[in-house]
Amino acid sequence: MTTTALPAEMALRRMGTTESTPMSSTNISPLDSPRSSPSSTSLSSLASEDALEQKKPVLEKKQLVDTYGNTFEIPDYTIKDIHDAIPKRCFDRSAATGLYYVARDIVSLATTFYLFNRFVTPETVPSTPLRAGLWFLYTVVQGLFGTGLWVLAHECGHQSFSKSKVLNDTVGWFCHSALLVPYFSWKISHGKHHKATGHMERDMVFVPSTRQEWATRKGYLLHQLDELTEETPLNTAYTLISQQLGGWPMYLLTNVTGHNKHEVQREGRGVGKQNGFGGGVNHFDPNSPLYEAKDAKLILLSDLGLLITGAILFWVGKTYGFSNLFVWYLAPYLWVNHWLVAITFLQHTDPSLPHYTPTSWTYTRGAAATIDREFGFIGRQLFHGIIETHVLHHYVSVIPFYHADEASEAIKKVMGRHYRSDTRGGPVGFIKSMWNSMRWCQWVEPLEGTTGDEAGVMFFRNRNGLGLPPAKLQKAAST
């Protein structure tokens, strides 16, 4: 399979070489369900946004390049172009089909649980190391099936599960609650992510640090970045493992990786609040600035779902032992968290992807700032294609996953060179990308010498000697 986000011939390392060919790009409006939902964005508003973009004065432009050194061009198509390219049948949503996949995933989880509890016992498998290894395999397999169920609840949140909002939200609430996800709370914040993808001040997940923010978080002065040596692989591994194990709970509890500009919340609920423990920004409090006053009942309903699941899990632990509870549920739950964070991280973090300041961002541009990858049978069958068709998903989130491949092919013809994908190595390449993106993508900054729109296009930089070097800082004059 081809890749459209590969390193440039002369830019893999500042002293290295690799091949790269940016490829097609597609853009499409998120025509969500006929009923409004947190993840929907009106076609008329987005079209008017494109019109405003076209009225901007034409300034002398400097050629943009991404972190690899590949030529980058700001998307030049409209939301309507994307929508018109997709066959109408791709918008069809079948409740029966959606329920079939939910039943399939639940049956897969239940069957695996039954088989291991029935046959992987001291009587049938006397060897303790072998038995432990088989139960480890159980946690991995259940984590895959659990992630698939999570993705189907995600479909419900976007109203792509069926035409019925009631059915969507009912199925989504049950499935996400069973996985300790606050369904409506996540649905609302995730909808805001879709409305502001790639926006440096409004996006909700994996908003990259600026150079100043990255230095501050690491405890360095800004000018010291030019003097630092490469990060050790051990440090990178620690950061990656911490993200994979704790990223999802920390996001729910503290809004880590989300924007931290809550003071602009239109109801004034964000004044004095910030990300982090004790900052008042989380997915469980109806007063969180992530939400508006009208959302309070939905936030409480989400919390109720978690309390019910928590009570059931506590009963299981008390009845059958908490060690069994850990193996049966908590270890697979950690695997689900790992896959969710990995998928989301790699959808929005890549050396070929831009981020935009508020003055340069538009919906059309932001939706193209995502990348498709490939995870083979697991990605397409167990994870319902969420990895392979994410670019489309950011343009039209109401299209169900079983029509996403066809729709993706259709929008590639519109996006052309703006479409990003990296399918090198299949599943192994996907895993490797986690390490590569962690090494390459540390902060974002604009290209030196850019003005106007181009000055608001930011690409990743790093202190590891990979790709284009960071801009040279002007040293302050001594007094």
Per-residue DSSP letter, 458: E
pLDDT reported for residue 52 = 52
Nearest-angstrom CA–CA distance, 290 and 271? 12
Tokens representing 152 are 């189907």
Nearest-angstrom CA–CA distance, 358 and 199? 6
Q: Using alpha carbons, select from 157, 169, 173, 164 the residue that is nearest to residue 397.
A: 157
pLDDT reported for residue 218 = 81
pLDDT reported for residue 215 = 87
CA distances to 108, 177, 178 from 379, rounded to whole Å, are 16, 23, 22
pTM for this model (two decimals): 0.87
pLDDT reported for residue 478 = 41
pLDDT reported for residue 5 = 61
User: Looking at the DSSP assignment, which residues form a beta bridge with residue 422?
Assistant: 373
Around Cβ 474, how many Cβ atoms within 10 Å?
7
Q: How confident is the chain (479 residues) per 10-residue block, as mean pLDDT? A: 52 36 36 40 47 52 92 95 97 98 98 98 96 98 98 98 98 98 98 97 96 87 75 92 95 95 91 94 96 97 98 98 98 98 97 97 97 97 97 97 98 97 95 97 94 95 94 60
Nearest-angstrom CA–CA distance, 175 and 172? 5
pLDDT reported for residue 442 = 96
For residue 430, give the amino acid letter: F
